[in-house]
Amino acid sequence: MDGGNAWVPVEGVARMRRLPFEGNGSRSDDPASPPLRIALLAGPMVAVPPPAYGGTERIVAALANTLTRRGHDVTVYASGDSTVDAKLRPVAERALWASGYRGDAAAPLLRAVARCWADARHFDLIHSHVEAFGFLLARYAPVPVVSTLHGRLDGDGMPDLLADFEDIPLVAISESQRRWAPDANWVGVVHNGLPLEHLPASGAVEDYLLFIGRVIREKGIAEAVELADRVRLPLKIGAKVHEDVERQTFETIVQPAVAAGRVEFLGEVPPGARDPLMAAARATLMLGAWPEPFGLVAIESLATGTPVIARRAGALPEIVEHGVDGFLVDDLVEAELAVRMVDGLDRRAAPD
């Protein structure tokens, strides 16, 4: 489990006053400054990086690899089958979802937090990516902790929780996400970024629409199937089906469409297959009314040159430039029009 790491957990970590979060990152830009010892806390549910579906874990992998290349001493708290260019502190032998675990994620995530907390004095900074599970760590750890939040902040008790933890430093991944907690201790808004130079560019465009993500209603899977029917184009779906809600949605929406020959379901698609699939699509669909806190699929699609047809919700208006690299729509009528107009966009225009 410890991967040969000789660290001895710090005994009796006390509840200490949170140290002030200071600085603007100048030490990482100054070659004369010493490297930082940084912990990235990801959790055990999905490997870092994920072999197929996974958003937060891909961001953590990109951070770990880039910070290591810049000379910092980086340790990642994640499943033991993670592969990063940094030290790995396993919090489970293998990624739990890939191992067949279907229980609640709370206990495994809290265990990951506890392991990182026990080691906290070995670091100059801890960067948490485990949502509210890391809030107590952020307040009481003996070293500075910054928490990047990747989920929605408008429900499930988050507004009250953020009000109670207004002292801890937070990073939002979009202006849309941050707007529901204006009084929180935001130290910045940082749009998610990924290394995109490996992505193939759009070449020969094939006549199909594409959905990538999770098979849940909030992501717009039903709207994608209906839109493909309306415009009489094939729909290819590369999506995760692990959790109960995903299996139920697959059985009620996707499976009948597959049986009718209207949809091709590809399951979870690894990057080597997903990227060319995305580059060749006529458009990538993101039609869910659920307000995306960010939307990695959008930046990847745009990086290949493939337009995104997205619901005008959440952070997508911060990513998609309407009429330039995609279209922002309010309903399926507008989405139909967008499909008819998408061939008029310049797929060679690289996003900023």
Reply yes or no on whether the pLDDT at 85 is more than 60: yes
Kindly state the average pLDDT of the residues 253-278: 92
Q: Domain 26-189 is classified in which CATH homologous superfamily?
A: Glycogen Phosphorylase B; (3.40.50.2000)
Give domain limits for the chain: 26-189, 209-344
What fold, for 209-344?
Answer: Rossmann fold (3.40.50)
Q: What span, in angstroms and rounded, lies between the C-alpha atoms of 173 and 293?
A: 7
Q: What span, in angstroms and rounded, lies between the C-alpha atoms of 348 and 296?
A: 20
Within 13 A of 337's CA, how many CA atoms are on the CB side?
9
Mutual orientation of helices 271-280 and 296-304 as an angle, nearest 10°?
60
Q: What's the whole-model pTM score? A: 0.84
Tokens 């989920």 belong to residue:
151
Q: Give the number of other Cβ atoms within 10 Å of residue 104's Cβ.
A: 8
Q: How far is CA 101 from the centre of its chain?
A: 20
Q: Which residues pair with 188 in a beta bridge?
A: 171
The pLDDT of residue 271? 81
Q: In percent, how much of the chain has pLDDT > 90?
A: 76
The pLDDT of residue 80? 96
Tell me whether strands 73-79 and 209-214 are parallel, antiparallel or unpaired: unpaired
Kindly state the average pLDDT of the residues 114-138: 98
Decide which of 228 and 241 is more confident. Answer: 228
- Predicted confidence band of residue 31 (pLDDT cuts 50, 70, 90): low
8 A C-beta contact, residue 316 and residue 328: yes
b/e sequence 249-261, b meaning 16+ C-beta within 10 Å? bbeebbeebbeee
pLDDT tens for each residue of 150-172: 999 999 999 999 999 999 999 99
The pLDDT of residue 349? 61
Kindly state the average pLDDT of the residues 121-139: 98
Q: What span, in angstroms and rounded, lies between the C-alpha atoms of 318 and 330?
A: 16
Q: In percent, how much of the chain has pLDDT > 70?
A: 90
Q: Is the peptide bond before 144 cis (omega within 30 degrees of 0)?
A: no
